[in-house]
Amino acid sequence: MASNAYIIANKRAVSSHPHPHRQPHLPLLLLLFSLLFIGKFDLVSALNYTKYTRKVSNLRLQRIQKHLEKINKPAVITIESPDGDIIDCVHKRKQPALDHPLLKKHKIQRVAPEMPKVKTLKRDEGSGDSKRKEGEDLIWQMWHRNGTRCPKGTVPIRRSTTRDVLRAKSLFHFGKKQSTTINPTRRADAPDVVSSNGHEHAIAYTGTSQEVYGAKATINVWDPSIQEVNEFSLSQIWILSGSFDGSDLNSIEAGWQVSPELYGDSRPRLFTYWTSDSYQATGCYNLLCAGFVQTNSRIAIGAAISPVSQYDANQYDITILIWKDPKLGNWWMGFGDNNLVGYWPAELFTHLADHATMVEWGGEVVNSRANGKHTSTEMGSGHFAEDGFGKSSYFRNLELVDADNSLSSVHDISTLAENTNCYNIKNSYNNEWGTYFYYGGPGNNPQCP
């Protein structure tokens, strides 16, 4: 049976792409020599949003290289993606996760976790046009297009480069989210979102009084425009526990994001994130630090998703499930139709070692207020929620996992958007999409100066 990881929301076929021409690698020493010789390094995003000119010292390059040697593990084979990514197929026991101090004695979970049971029968998720025909083999990650796959026993890891690190604020900040500053006026039952540091949201969320053991949703994929290279736009699920106004918040996150700073382009990419201390020192995106244990040889975290939705045309979405293995306690990630990507070991967490207390679904952007105005970085499709299907981005079939490892549709959710003139959200329910919502917006506009 073909993997059902990628959903197409109408029946038009997806065209195949020719094999890319393979290019020789630029030797590392030549790259370092050229950077040192030039004495400065020009960083330009794929859309030329912002140009940085930085002087790069020999000492800094040495530190970056040492870090890259730590996270770029030796490859069994290497695959060149049409979008410029290098995918290293790394033996699963050599992956970065096992470098974590808390995982020195960790044995990779070999027995598949028990999948959550569907508590209540419901009609087919989505309309007849939104379910992919069985047997279709859609190309849903760019690196798949040349037909090469990682061999059994290995995991695909997107290789990090010197340029990737130099786009970050510092080596310490590479692959990390900025720590948040909690708004003192936040309601006690509100989720962990603030706009004071430029982060803006349009999300749905559960209450904080229940025990939650996982969540699921199907997420519409777009390629929103990003104005500044240090901004991003993402759509994700948050699994949360701990105090929102302290330093012990635990969070597990997964979805798609566009981040020129992190990836050097404006393509939507599958991503994961985790933290056990409110984004201060622990955790990172994808596999850019030790922690997340990957088990799947076909899905590359951080790789570009293709194809993507088009305005008033084809709509594409991905399904993500995050849940706690009832036997071993690890938090697993599923992608599409029961494809296990990997897991966050229970040892990484404090509060989430037991259960979650809140789930959030929705979009987030960074607004840097370049030139003193709200930037035009888009959320979702870049259109407001009221524009509806084919124009606005959506989350559908929102579900929660309970203590019995059962999935059920979410009925009691709240919504939040800090500035509805820039980005908004509207939720609803029907028998096909269960609980769902449209969300997003264009950012800067006459009502959002």
Catalytic residues: 253, 364
Q: In what order do the strands lie in the sheet with 154-158?
A: 77-80, 86-91, 154-158
Which two tokens mark 24? 């020789």
CA distance 288 to 271: 11
Within 180-330, strands assigned E span: 199-205, 214-220, 233-241, 250-258, 269-275, 293-294, 316-324
Of 402, 353, 17, nearest in space to 216 by CA: 402
CA distance 84 to 159: 11
Q: Pinpoint the alpha helices (H) of 72-179.
A: 162-167
Kindly state the tokens that stand for 359.
């789930």
% helix, strand, coil for the chain, step of 5: 15, 30, 55
* Three-class SS of 351-381: HHHCCECEEEEEEEEECCCHHHCCCCCCECC
Cβ contact 194:279 at 8 Å: no
